[in-house]
Amino acid sequence: MTEQTPRTRQLARSTLTVMLAFGVAKAISLAQTFIIAKQVGVGSEWDTFVTANRVPELIFTLISGGALAHAFIPVFTGFLAQGDKEKAWRVATHVINTIFTATLITSAVVFLFANPIAASVAPGFAPAEIEQTAQIMRNLLVGTLIFSVSGISMGILNSHNHFLLPALAPIMFDVGILIGVIFLLKPLGVQGIAIGAVLGAAMHFTIQIPGLIHFKARWWPELGLRDPVMWYVIRLMLPRVAGLGVVSLNFLVMNNIASRLGEGSVSALDWGWRLMQIPETLIGTAMGTVIFPTLATLSELGDERGKRGAMSGALRFILIATIPSAVGLIVVGQPLISLLERGAFDAAAATLVYSTLRFFALGLVVHSALEIVARSFYADKDTLTPLFAALGGAAINLILSLTLSGVAQVETMRIANTTASMFPLLNLPTYTGNVGGLALANSCGVAFEVLVLLWVLRRRWHGMEESTIGKTVLKTTAASLVMALAIVIIDMVWHTLGLADQGFAYTVLRLGVEVGGGVLVFAGVAYLMKMEELQTLLTLILRRQRTEGIA
């Protein structure tokens, strides 16, 4: 226990640092959301930007995104642990140069064929929308090239257990986008946001340079195609690439279906995802980023008990944070949306966005848990098992997307209306489908993925403290339901007093009262049920504050 406590404190401090940095990034992202919602709203223009971003995002994900980091960090960390720094930097050089070259070639191909690619990704778009999508896509490819280097730089710094500059990098990216939103959106439309994204990518890399200098980074102008270690990293990376490709393919399929469900459906899907990603990034991504190097080190040492404890502790933290967050998003989702869009959405658009938010909120817990569970396999240098689980989840997502969205009825009605256009007296009704069904399908697919991985992990690690995790789930769910009831009562009182729909200031106050009241109720119920995780977290925070005060 004495060996675990310093490690736990260090993880808590690092996680808090990353969460705070991510929180600032999300605050800037919300500022973007205010302006974009006001000027663009839910419509065809934002549809084109969201669609254009899918392909550059896919290139980054498949070539230089999380797949590379998860394969690279355990190998790079291993060389550092052995004291072989030159070999570590040589491997890093070879990986960076090879990945950048691959990204450059792929981006050039996409640049040349942007129009047909845009048409295939969003077949429901009009020709002018397809052209605009292609132009935005070409601009965003520049940022993808920068990220191919910046992404691996984050992995290098994380391998040295340095999390501050990598955590600040997303803030710089969001600042760049914010510049585009404030100064370029009005004169250039959504093209201005794309230019801001490229600026943000450059700032994302620049902020990390001092850290690379501090750790005496070395670089050689060579691809290292004969370096067996680099090829080992790539072999580890390929299954993860396929897994992330499945995830990206899921979103391309969802985008394809949403483009057939009527104008604004793609935007509504994106808005719901963006709002869910705020707590998911602050909780799941932050904890996953910090715990991964620790899991990799414990795996290298063969410390199975240590891995179980680290993974279980991280997962319990995820659960006590995301379950109430998911319930809260569902309960306060509508006033939250009205606060963000500030009149930019009409009633139909607001309803459309909320329909996706509530179903994405159901997936908040499993999306965040996946950040920990999947990394447990990557720490063991197993990238195949998560791939198989992702394939199963993708199959469920595809089947449920087609079933729950009603896309078949939409296409049938579209054909019928095309035929009926010759006979106006028929006056057939329109059917817009259910874009919220796409969000629910995604949540169900990820839930399947997490459950399969937990089952395998339990067998492989000879347990995972499942009884403790189960108690955490039950207690947190009970406290969250009581919290939801309290928020509903507060909301009813608010409406009874006639304070609803009284303007922006009242909406902010309403959300503050409901969220604040909900947090207090949740904390009170958790205290009565003696939830150890919250007490431990509070103790760590208070101990840190006392230590800083003494210093």
State the pLDDT at residue 2.
39
pTM (2 decimals)? 0.71
Q: Which uninterrupted H or E stretch holds 367?
A: helix 364-379
> Is position 173 within any domain?
yes
> Is position 370 within any domain?
no
User: For the chain, first and last CA: distance in Å?
Assistant: 25
Q: Which among 434, 131, 98, 83 has a CA at the least distance from the CA of 257? A: 434
Residues 307-364: tens digit of each pLDDT: 888 888 888 888 988 999 999 999 888 778 777 666 556 667 777 888 888 899 989 9
3-state secondary structure of 376: helix
Q: Which among 387, 383, 285 has a CA at the least distance from the CA of 74? A: 383
> Is position 536 within any domain?
no
C-alpha dist (Å) from residue 420 to 108, 427, 431 = 44, 8, 15
484 HSE (CA, 13 A, CB side): 16
> Is position 175 within any domain?
yes
State the pLDDT at residue 142.
95
Which has more confidence, 478 or 499?
478
Contact 269, 442 (CB under 8 A): no
> Is position 345 within any domain?
no
C-alpha dist (Å) from residue 327 to 124, 276, 340, 346, 477 = 34, 11, 19, 25, 9
> Is position 143 within any domain?
yes
> Is position 460 within any domain?
no
Q: How many domains, the chain?
A: 1
State the pLDDT at residue 425.
41
Contact 119, 177 (CB under 8 A): no
- For residue 74, what are the domain limits? 25-253
Beta strand extents in 281-387 (DSSP E only) = none
Instruction: Give percent of the chain above pLDDT 90.
Output: 25
State the pLDDT at residue 426.
41
pLDDT band for position 545 (50/70/90)? very low
> Is position 476 within any domain?
no
Residues 241-265: tens digit of each pLDDT: 777 777 777 777 787 788 777 777 7
CA distance 437 to 253: 13
Contact 163, 290 (CB under 8 A): yes
